[in-house]
Structure 1
Amino acid sequence: MKKANKLSAMSMDQLILYKKKMKGVLVGLGIVMLIAEAALLYVIFTTDGMGSLAIVALSTFICFMPAVISYSQIDKEIKSRENNTKIN
């Protein structure tokens, strides 16, 4: 069975608050990931035999994608509710 959409059950105020929290999480994780990738790339280029770590450096953004997708779903839900209130 498919679960009901969690976002549709939230009020508009809850959605806006959740969007702000997700934005903070994305910015925070993004900064940490960029610093970690810069350090990892530095290690890769300054030491011999660490070329295989390049795969790790490039694949970390894949772990970041679910949060980005969640943020875009929240944004779509807010926009659809704003459009529904304008129509009515």
Structure 2
Amino acid sequence: MQKRKALTELTLQELQDRKQRSKGVLIGLGLVMLLACGTLIYLAIRVEKGAPFIAIASGCAMMFLPMIAYKNQLDTEIKKRNT
């Protein structure tokens, strides 16, 4: 299995490529998650025992935290290299 390079070992171009890729993934998954959460909230309103749907919809946002943290690490590493 191939090891992932640390961010400090990557070139500036590789960092910028990873930043663009992670931004695209966040936008794509964000749109899908927004649609899914909307559907879950709609079902929670329409179904008599729909409270679990609201809990699932609010918990889905937690999925984005690792990806946002990774993007912030990329941003700080790019800023270090540019200064």
Following TM superposition, the consecutive aligned residue runs of length 4 or more in structure 1 with deviations greater than 2 angstroms are none
- Whether 2:52 is the aligned partner of 1:52: answer yes
Two-structure CA RMSD over aligned residues (Å): 1.4
The whole-number CA distance in structure 2 between the counterparts of 1:21 and 1:57 is 26
- Structure having the higher helix fraction is 2
What is the number of residues matched between the two proteins?
A: 80
Q: What is aligned with 2:26?
A: 26
Q: What is aligned with 1:38?
A: 38
**TM-score, normalised by the number of residues in structure 2:** 0.91
C-alpha deviation, 1:58, in angstroms? 0.3
C-alpha deviation, 1:43, in angstroms? 0.3
C-alpha deviation, 1:52, in angstroms? 1.7
The alignment partner of 2:14 has SS state of helix
Q: What is aligned with 2:10?
A: 10
Gaps of 5+ in 1: 84-88
**TM-score, normalised by the number of residues in structure 1:** 0.86
Percent identity (aligned): 32
Gaps of 5+ in 2: none
